[in-house]
């Protein structure tokens, strides 16, 4: 059994002085924190049915509770929910050594990964905030305001229940030259989701605490998706021919997903909604994935081996596709509208009162509110369709081929080193095309990157797109008819990864050292897709449709030393990893881009642009050193107790793991403000009893 608590402060975040206030002020005496609690009970049982047959059982019961779920530097503590995970896992396995060459194995398991994400008790009891507000950041009273969400906990989708069932079986046949295996594995399960909202189905957006947008919600309610089966059949062999060892394998995969019948009922802002959808089969995939490996004993003395391999893999996703096309997900469950607080003349009490002075149920512009930015809110809207070619048949889901080649050499007895090169090629990309618009419906314009020496593109002009208010077809800009199709329908898309592993392994009399360096880079190119579907860029400028990341090496070393007295062991783990990937999402107001665009932004008060190449700039590296001190107590023959004293992050590093990407206000405002740091130094005592 285990009980664990973990509390860490959130850098730069504090509780509000008054959670009910529209204008947020911080209580600098009460820093925000993330606290987590875990209870765990685990047991294993092994029974020898006969001398050649064993039965194994495993039970794990966990209860996780995160009172400040998803808290970070951009979300105030009172605005997050609490999550409960009552995890359960039960496993049974069986094996039978029929002969000295023949082995049979089988197993089954059941898992429950349900969770509930609900408001904190203060909100439920009416003691907390009264509204959910998204402040975009800026300058207020001469003070730079970081973007932050505060007030009530808002929209939530949680999974209860979520069950998984698994089974496997295999037969192995081993001879002097062959190691043959054939088998199967099967996964089934379902996930029921509940879409809810805990901020009275409404959210306000402000800049400098002045209301500029309001969003209303119509939660989806309860819906369910099924993994009918994910079946794998495989055959593999390891065949020795002289100095050559071949490892051919073939795996056949079959997957089916479906959605249950679903009804969406009325809500506060969609009082007449009553929609029903029948159950439907979604996915029926079939795949053949070959794999081949070969190694060659170069000199015939077992000290130098040349190795190469090639393997095909496909995306493993569980229920993701069924979820993505479920009618509940694709309903219009929210819509925003621009609010202009200066609509009414000076002296009118409705001017700058931070109250939405309009009829929210009226989709047309009225009062101080613009029109709904999402058509069909609360009713049926065109559901994102999945091209049938991506749902059924052989070889239709996203895939990758991975190739490797390298060598391993024994430098001295029990000391070896190796070098391996990898290349991974991805394919089968899927893109979402809003067929209601075309590339001609987007206007290209330039934005200038702020002059800041910290930005790699400081002062440069970048190309971005904004959709026109009226489409070429005459329909409004927010008309949506999405279809998920193969990217190859629109051109070539490429994604390659190249990497190297340099490793060493030393197993001397009392000391063991393993370590090495891994480095790799990714090339991504979707420029041909962008020419036809500018919207796939999102916040990325056109210039970055092709980019290559840096190599960013990772260094890792593990070592252990057996002290020659008192059965003591010292061990350590050191790693040096790249810092967090940096990006600057510069916020350009509609007023700022109007000269370049020739008009105001469509349906938005501002536009965020990521102003430098993704994954090419990183924060400071992370250096971590963990230590373990072990003592073995030998009670009697076959009866020992291992006592361990662990120090994680022994140097108490405060390396930053995440930073804000929003760039706004004076000198970027909150840009690169830490949102997460490495867990501080932890001491742990442990004991294992073998008898």
Could you report the per-residue pLDDT of 240-250, keeping only the tens digit for each? Answer: 999 999 999 99
Q: How far is it, in rounded angstroms, from Cα 359 to Cα 365?
A: 9
pLDDT band at 295 (very low <50, low <70, confident <90, very high): very high
Q: Is the pLDDT of residue 463 over 90?
A: yes
Please work out, in degrees rounded to the nearest 5, the angle formed at the alpha carbon of residue 266 by the alpha carbons of 261 and 268: 145
Position 382 scores a pLDDT of: 67
Q: How far is it, in rounded angstroms, from Cα 116 to Cα 82?
A: 8
676-681 contact pairs (CB < 8 A, 24+): 676/10, 676/11, 676/72, 677/8, 677/11, 678/622, 678/624, 678/649, 678/653, 678/654, 679/6, 679/8, 679/648, 679/649, 680/8, 680/649, 680/652, 680/654, 681/647, 681/648, 681/649, 681/650, 681/651, 681/652
The tally of CA atoms less than 13 A away on the side-chain side of residue 316 is 8
Q: How far is it, in rounded angstroms, from Cα 517 to Cα 505?
A: 12
Q: How far is it, in rounded angstroms, from Cα 155 to Cα 132?
A: 10
Q: Is the pLDDT of residue 127 over 60?
A: no
Mean pLDDT for 540-556 is: 95
Task: Give the pLDDT confidence of 669-689 residue by residue, as tens digits.
Answer: 989 999 889 988 999 888 878
8 A C-beta contact, residue 340 and residue 346: no
Task: Give the pLDDT confidence of 21-58 residue by residue, as tens digits.
Answer: 899 999 999 999 999 999 999 999 999 999 999 999 99
333: left (phi over 0), alpha (psi -120 to 50) or beta: alpha
What counts of helices (H) and strands (E) characterise the chain?
5, 44
pLDDT band at 483 (very low <50, low <70, confident <90, very high): very high
pLDDT band at 319 (very low <50, low <70, confident <90, very high): confident
Non-local (6+) Cβ contacts of 361 within 8 A are 269
DSSP for 247-305 reads: EEEEEEEEEEEEE--EEE--BTTBTT--EEE--EEEEEEEEEEEEEEEEEESSSSSSEE
Q: How far is it, in rounded angstroms, from Cα 196 to Cα 617?
A: 38
User: Hey, how many other C-beta atoms are within 10 angstroms of the C-beta on 264?
Assistant: 25
pLDDT band at 263 (very low <50, low <70, confident <90, very high): very high
Mean pLDDT for 9-30 is: 90
Specify if 430 maps to a domain.
Answer: yes
Q: How far is it, in rounded angstroms, from Cα 220 to Cα 481?
A: 20
177: left (phi over 0), alpha (psi -120 to 50) or beta: alpha
C-alpha dihedral sign at 205, 208, 211, 212: negative
pLDDT band at 122 (very low <50, low <70, confident <90, very high): low
8 A C-beta contact, residue 610 and residue 539: yes
Q: How far is it, in rounded angstroms, from Cα 535 to Cα 490?
A: 13
8 A C-beta contact, residue 116 and residue 183: no
Non-local (6+) Cβ contacts of 461 within 8 A are 446, 447, 448, 449
**More confident: 466 or 675:** 466
Q: How far is it, in rounded angstroms, from Cα 211 to Cα 209?
A: 6
Q: How far is it, in rounded angstroms, from Cα 134 to Cα 207?
A: 8
Closest to 397 (Cα-Cα) out of 383, 406, 387, 407: 387
pLDDT band at 488 (very low <50, low <70, confident <90, very high): very high
Q: How far is it, in rounded angstroms, from Cα 46 to Cα 54?
A: 7
Mean of all residue pLDDT scores within the chain: 93
Specify if 570 maps to a domain.
Answer: yes
Specify if 145 maps to a domain.
Answer: no
Mean pLDDT for 327-340 is: 91
Using a pLDDT cut of 70, give the percent of the chain over it.
99
The bridge status of strand 568-577 relative to strand 622-636 is antiparallel
8 A C-beta contact, residue 581 and residue 535: no
Number of residues that this document lists for the chain: 691
Q: How far is it, in rounded angstroms, from Cα 607 to Cα 597?
A: 12
> What are residue 588's DSSP bridge partners?
607
Q: Is the pLDDT of residue 490 over 60?
A: yes
Q: How far is it, in rounded angstroms, from Cα 282 to Cα 229?
A: 12
Position 563 scores a pLDDT of: 92
Q: How far is it, in rounded angstroms, from Cα 558 to Cα 139?
A: 49
Q: Is the pLDDT of residue 588 over 80?
A: yes
Specify if 499 maps to a domain.
Answer: yes
pLDDT band at 123 (very low <50, low <70, confident <90, very high): low
Specify if 577 maps to a domain.
Answer: yes
* 3-state SS string for 590-602: HHHHHHHHCCCCC
Enter the DSSP assignment of 4: E
Specify if 558 maps to a domain.
Answer: yes
Mean pLDDT for 111-135 is: 79
Q: How far is it, in rounded angstroms, from Cα 221 to Cα 666?
A: 43
Q: How far is it, in rounded angstroms, from Cα 318 to Cα 226?
A: 9
The bridge status of strand 461-467 relative to strand 392-394 is unpaired
Position 126 scores a pLDDT of: 47
349: left (phi over 0), alpha (psi -120 to 50) or beta: alpha
Closest to 606 (Cα-Cα) out of 435, 447, 453: 447
Position 406 scores a pLDDT of: 98
8 A C-beta contact, residue 192 and residue 223: yes
Task: Give the pLDDT confidence of 408-451 residue by residue, as tens digits.
Answer: 999 999 999 999 999 999 999 999 999 999 999 999 999 999 99
Specify if 5 maps to a domain.
Answer: no
Task: Give the pLDDT confidence of 198-232 residue by residue, as tens digits.
Answer: 999 999 999 999 999 999 999 999 999 999 999 99
Least confident segment among 144-153, 511-520, 539-548: 144-153
- Maximum Cα interatomic distance, the chain, rounded to a whole number of Å: 95
**Which pair of structure tokens corresponds to residue 265?**
């009922």
The SS3 of residue 94 is: strand
Q: How far is it, in rounded angstroms, from Cα 508 to Cα 416?
A: 11
Q: How many domains does the chain fold into?
A: 1
Closest to 181 (Cα-Cα) out of 117, 247, 230: 247
Element (DSSP H or E) covering residue 44: strand 26-50
8 A C-beta contact, residue 178 and residue 237: yes
Task: Name residue, tokens 């490495």.
Answer: 678
Specify if 605 maps to a domain.
Answer: yes
Position 130 scores a pLDDT of: 85
Position 655 scores a pLDDT of: 95
Element (DSSP H or E) covering residue 63: strand 53-69
Closest to 136 (Cα-Cα) out of 455, 537, 586, 452: 586
8 A C-beta contact, residue 601 and residue 676: no
Mean pLDDT for 491-520 is: 96
Closest to 41 (Cα-Cα) out of 63, 18, 73: 63
Mean pLDDT for 254-275 is: 95
Q: How far is it, in rounded angstroms, from Cα 269 to Cα 147?
A: 27
Mean pLDDT for 326-334 is: 88
Task: Give the pLDDT confidence of 612-654 residue by residue, as tens digits.
Answer: 999 999 999 999 999 999 998 988 887 888 899 999 999 999 9
Please work out, in degrees rounded to the nearest 5, the angle formed at the alpha carbon of residue 469 by the alpha carbons of 464 and 470: 120
8 A C-beta contact, residue 99 and residue 137: no
pTM attached to this predicted model:
0.77
Range of the domain at 630: 398-634
């Amino acid at each position: 059994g285990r009980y664990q608590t973990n509390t860490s402060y959130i850098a730069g975040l504090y509780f509000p002085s008054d959670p009910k206030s529209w204008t947020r002020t911080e209580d600098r005496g009460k820093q925000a924190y993330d606290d987590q609690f875990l209870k765990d009970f685990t047991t294993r049982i092994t029974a020898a049915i006969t001398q050649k047959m064993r039965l194994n059982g495993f039970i794990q019961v966990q209860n996780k509770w995160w009172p400040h779920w998803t808290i970070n530097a951009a979300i105030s503590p009172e605005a997050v929910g609490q999550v409960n995970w009552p995890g359960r896992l039960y496993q049974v396995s069986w094996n039978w050594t029929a002969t000295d060459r023949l082995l049979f194995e089988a197993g089954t398991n059941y898992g429950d990964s349900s969770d509930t994400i609900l408001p904190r008790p203060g909100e439920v009891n009416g003691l907390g905030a009264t509204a959910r507000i998204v402040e975009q950041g800026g300058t207020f009273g001469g003070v730079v305001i970081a973007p932050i969400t505060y007030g009530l906990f808002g929209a939530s989708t949680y999974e209860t229940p979520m069950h998984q069932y698994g089974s496997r079986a295999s037969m192995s046949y081993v001879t002097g030259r062959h190691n043959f295996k054939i088998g199967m594995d099967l996964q089934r399960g379902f996930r029921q989701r509940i879409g809810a909202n805990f901020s009275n189905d409404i959210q306000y957006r402000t800049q400098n605490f002045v209301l500029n947008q309001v969003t209303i919600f119509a939660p989806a309610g309860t819906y369910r998706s099924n993994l009918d089966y994910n079946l794998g059949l495989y055959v593999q062999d390891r065949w020795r021919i002289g100095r050559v060892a071949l490892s051919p394998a073939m795996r056949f995969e079959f997957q089916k997903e479906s959605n249950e019948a679903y009804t969406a009922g009325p809500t506060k802002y969609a009082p007449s909604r009553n929609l029903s959808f029948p159950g439907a089969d979604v996915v029926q995939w079939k795949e053949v994935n070959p794999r081949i490996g070969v190694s060659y004993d170069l000199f015939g003395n077992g000290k130098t081996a040349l190795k190469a391999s090639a393997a095909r893999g496909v995306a493993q996703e569980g229920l993701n596709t069924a979820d993505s096309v479920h009618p509940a997900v694709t309903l219009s469950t929210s819509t925003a509208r621009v609010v202009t607080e200066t609509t009414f003349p000076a002296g009118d009490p409705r001017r700058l009162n931070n109250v939405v002075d309009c009829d929210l149920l009226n989709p047309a512009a009225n009062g101080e509110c613009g029109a709904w930015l999402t058509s069909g809110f609360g009713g049926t809207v065109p559901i994102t369709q999945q091209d049938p070619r991506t749902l059924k048949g052989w070889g239709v889901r996203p895939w990758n081929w991975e190739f490797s080649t390298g060598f391993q050499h024994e430098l001295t007895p029990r000391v070896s080193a190796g070098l391996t090169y990898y290349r991974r090629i991805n394919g089968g990309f899927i893109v979402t095309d809003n067929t209601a618009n075309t590339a001609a419906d987007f206007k290209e314009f330039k934005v200038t990157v702020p002059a800041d020496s910290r930005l790699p593109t400081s002062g440069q002009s970048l190309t971005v797109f904004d959709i026109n208010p009226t489409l070429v077809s005459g329909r409004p800009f927010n008309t949506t008819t999405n279809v998920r199709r193969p990217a190859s329908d629109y051109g070539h898309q490429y994604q390659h990864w190249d990497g190297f592993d340099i490793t060493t392994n030393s197993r001397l009399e009392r000391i063991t050292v393993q370590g090495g360096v891994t480095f790799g880079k990714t090339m991504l190119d979707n420029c041909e897709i962008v020419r036809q579907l500018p919207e796939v860029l999102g916040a990325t400028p056109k210039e970055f449709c092709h980019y290559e990341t840096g190599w960013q090496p990772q260094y890792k070393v593990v070592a252990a030393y057996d002290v020659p007295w008192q059965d003591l062991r010292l061990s350590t783990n050191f790693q040096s990893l790249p810092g967090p990937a940096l990006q600057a999402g510069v916020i350009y107001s509609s007023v700022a881009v109007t000269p370049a665009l020739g008009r105001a932004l469509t349906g938005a008060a501002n536009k965020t642009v990521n102003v430098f190449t993704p994954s090419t700039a990183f924060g400071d590296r992370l250096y971590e050193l963990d230590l373990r001190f072990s003592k073995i107590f030998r009670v009697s023959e076959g009866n020992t107790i291992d006592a361990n004293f662990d120090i994680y992050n022994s140097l108490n590093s405060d390396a930053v793991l995440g930073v804000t990407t929003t760039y706004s206000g004076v000198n970027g405002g909150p840009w690169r403000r830490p949102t997460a740091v490495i867990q501080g130094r932890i001491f742990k005592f442990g004991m294992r009893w073998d008898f």
